[in-house]
Structure 1
Amino acid sequence: MRVALCVKRDLFGVIAARRFLAALGGATEVDVFCSTRIRATEGEVDGLRLMGALERDIPLGTLHPATAEEWAGAPPALRPDAWQPLPDLAREGGARTLLARRPDMVVSMRFSLIFPQRLIDAVPLGIINVHPGPLPTYRGLFAPFWQVMRGEPRLASSLHGIDAGIDTGPLIAEHAIPRDESRSLLWHIAELYRGGATLAAEAVRMAAAGSPPRGRPQPEGGQYFRMPDAAAFDAFARGPIRMVSTADYLDLLGEALLPPATALRVAA
Structure 2
Amino acid sequence: MRIAICVKKDIYGLLAARILAAALGFAQLRFFCSVKTRDAENAVPALRLMKLLEREVAIDALAAQQPEMPGVPHPDHWVPLPDLRADGGARTLLDFRPDIVISARFSLIFPQRVIDAVPRGIVNVHPGMLPGYRGLFAPFWQILHKEPELGCTVHLVDRGIDTGPILGVARVPFHPARSLMWHTAALYRGGVGIAAGAAASLARGTPPEAHRQPAAGDYYRFPSAEDFAALPVRISDPLDYAALLEEAFAPPLLAARDRAA
With the shorter chain as reference, the TM-score category is over 0.9
Instruction: Determine if the alignment matches structure 1 residue 248 to structure 2 residue 240.
Output: yes
Alignment of 1:45-194 (within 5 A): 45-68=44-67, 71=68, 74=70, 77-194=72-189
Distance in 2 between the 1:265 and 1:217 partners? 37
Cα separation, 2, equivalents of 1:29 and 1:266? 28
Partner amino acid for 1:6? C
Distance 2:258 2:171 in 1: 27
Alpha carbons of 1:249 and 1:195: their partners in 2 closer, same or farther (altered >3 Å)? same
Task: State the shift of 1:264 in Å.
Answer: 6.6
Unaligned runs of 5+ in 1: none
Task: Calculate the aligned-residue CA RMSD, in Å.
Answer: 1.7
Contact residue 21 and residue 201 of structure 1 kept, 8 A: no
Work out the CA distance in 1 between the residues paired with 2:98 and 2:26. 15
Any conservation in 2 of the 1:14–1:256 contact (CA below 8 Å)?
A: yes
Contact 2:101–2:123 (CA under 8 A) maintained in structure 1 = yes
Task: Say which is worse superposed, 253-262 or 132-141, in terms of deviation.
Answer: 253-262
Shift in Å at residue 208 of structure 1? 1.5
Given that 1:159 and 1:196 are in contact with CA atoms closer than 8 Å, whether structure 2 keeps it comes out as yes
Please, what TM-score do these two structures have when normalized by structure 2?
A: 0.95
Please state if 1:16 is matched with 2:16.
Answer: yes
What is the TM-score when the length of structure 1 is the normalising length?
0.92
Partner in structure 1 of residue 31 of structure 2: 32
Deviations 1:228-265 (CA, angstroms, capped at 9, x unpaired): 011101111xx2x2211111100111111235576578
| Structure 1 position 266, deviation (Å) | 6.7
What pairs with 1:207-246 in structure 2 (closer than 5 Å)?
207-213=202-208, 215-236=210-231, 239=232, 241-246=233-238
Listed as ranges, the gaps of 5+ residues in structure 2 are: none
Q: Find the aligned partners of 1:118 and 1:18 in 2 and give their Cα distance.
A: 29
Identity level (%): 51
Partners of 2:6 and 2:115 in 1: CA distance: 13
Cα distance between partner residues in 2 of 1:23 and 1:201: 6
Q: In structure 2, how many angstroms separate the alpha carbons of the residues matched to 1:22 and 1:52?
A: 27
CA distance 1:263–1:198, change in 2 (3 Å): closer
DSSP-derived class of the 1:78 partner: coil
Is this contact kept in 1: 2:123–2:199, CA < 8 A? no
| Paired AA for residue 152 in structure 2 | S
